[in-house]
Homo-oligomer: A and B are copies of this chain.
Amino acid sequence: MNDSSRQVPDLSRFFAPQTVALVGATDDTTRFGGRLLRQMLKFGFGGRILPVNPGRSELQGMRCYATVADLPAAPDHAGIVVPADKVLPVLRECHARGIPFATVFTAGFSETGTPEGRAMQAAITQFARESGMRVMGPNCYGVINYPDHFALTASSVLEPDARRDGSIGVVSQSGGLGGINVMWRAMEAGLRINYATSSGNEADLDAIDFARFMIEADSTEVLLMALEAVRDGAKFARMAERAAELEKPIVVLKLGRTRHGSRAAASHTGAMTGADDIFEAAARQFGVKRVNDSRELYETAIMLRGKRWPRGRRAASLSLSGGNVVQVADVGAQLGLEWSDYTATTQEQLSGLLPGYGKVSNPTDTTSLASGQPELFRRILDIISRDENVDVMVPVFTVPRRTELEQGMQIARESAKPVVLLLTGKCLDDPTLTVERIVADGVPAYRDTVTCLAAVRAAVDYREFLDRFRRQDSYTRPVAADPDAARALFADEGPATLTERASKAVLRCYGLPVTAERLARNAGAAIAHARDIGTPVALKIESPDIAHKSEAGAVRLNLSNAMEIRSAYEEIVAAARRYDAGATINGVLVQQMAPRGIEMMLGVANDPVFGPVVAVALGGIYVEVLRDIAYRVAPIDAAQALAMLHELRAYKLLEGVRGQARSDIAALVDCIVRLSWLAHDLRDAIADIDVNPLLVFERGALAVDALVVLKGKDGRRR
Known A321-B175, A322-B268, A626-B628: A330·B261 in contact at CB below 8 Å: yes
- Say whether A625 contacts B321, CB under 8 Å: no
Residues on B with beta carbons closer than 8 Å to the beta carbon of A470: none
Task: Tell me which of B258, B329, B398 contacts A180 (CB under 8 A).
Answer: B398
- Which among A226, A329, A622 has the highest number of chain B CB atoms within 10 Å? A329
- Say whether B626 contacts A176, CB under 8 Å: no
Residues on B with beta carbons closer than 8 Å to the beta carbon of A329: 258, 260-261, 263-264
Known A185-B425, A424-B181: A255·B292 in contact at CB below 8 Å: no
**What is the 8 Å Cβ interface bit string for chain A, positions 288-302, against chain B (1 contact, 0 not)?**
000011110000000
- Say whether B293 contacts A177, CB under 8 Å: no
- Say whether A268 contacts B449, CB under 8 Å: no
- Within the assembled complex, what's the spacing in Å between the Cα atoms of A485 and B590? 57
- Say whether A448 contacts B293, CB under 8 Å: yes
- Within the assembled complex, what's the spacing in Å between the Cα atoms of A286 and B422? 33
Residues on B with beta carbons closer than 8 Å to the beta carbon of A113: 358
A624 within 8 A of B: yes
- Within the assembled complex, what's the spacing in Å between the Cα atoms of A593 and B263? 52
Residues on B with beta carbons closer than 8 Å to the beta carbon of A333: 257-261
- Within the assembled complex, what's the spacing in Å between the Cα atoms of A113 and B358? 10
- Say whether A361 contacts B176, CB under 8 Å: no
A517 within 8 A of B: no
- Say whether A649 contacts B621, CB under 8 Å: no
**What is the 8 Å Cβ interface bit string for chain A, positions 224-266, against chain B (1 contact, 0 not)?**
0010100000000000000000000000010111111101110
- Say whether B323 contacts A185, CB under 8 Å: no
Known A181-B398, A293-B331: A174·B653 in contact at CB below 8 Å: no
Shortest Cβ gap from A334 to chain B (Å): 6
Known A174-B321, A226-B323, A330-B261: A292·B450 in contact at CB below 8 Å: yes
**What is the 8 Å Cβ interface bit string for chain A, positions 137-158, against chain B (1 contact, 0 not)?**
0000000000000000000010
Residues on B with beta carbons closer than 8 Å to the beta carbon of A322: 111, 174, 176, 268-269
- Within the assembled complex, what's the spacing in Å between the Cα atoms of A627 and B651? 12
- Say whether A321 contacts B180, CB under 8 Å: yes
- Say whether A268 contacts B325, CB under 8 Å: yes
A194 within 8 A of B: no
Shortest Cβ gap from A630 to chain B (Å): 15
- Say whether A184 contacts B425, CB under 8 Å: yes
**What is the 8 Å Cβ interface bit string for chain A, positions 309-331, against chain B (1 contact, 0 not)?**
00000000001111111110111
Residues on B with beta carbons closer than 8 Å to the beta carbon of A265: 326, 330
- Within the assembled complex, what's the spacing in Å between the Cα atoms of A653 and B320? 50
For A337, give the chain B residue with the smallest CB separation.
B260
Task: Tell me which of B294, B358, B626, B653 contacts A424 (CB under 8 A).
Answer: B294
Residues on B with beta carbons closer than 8 Å to the beta carbon of A176: 319-324, 398, 424
Shortest Cβ gap from A296 to chain B (Å): 8
Instruction: List 24 A-B pairs, Cβ < 8 Å.
Output: A107-B367, A111-B322, A112-B356, A175-B321, A176-B319, A176-B323, A178-B323, A180-B399, A226-B323, A255-B326, A255-B327, A257-B333, A259-B333, A260-B339, A261-B333, A263-B361, A264-B326, A264-B363, A268-B325, A292-B450, A551-B659, A622-B622, A625-B652, A626-B649
Give 6 new A-B contacts, CB below 8 A, not counting A267-B361, A292-B334: A180-B398, A180-B424, A263-B361, A292-B450, A294-B424, A624-B652
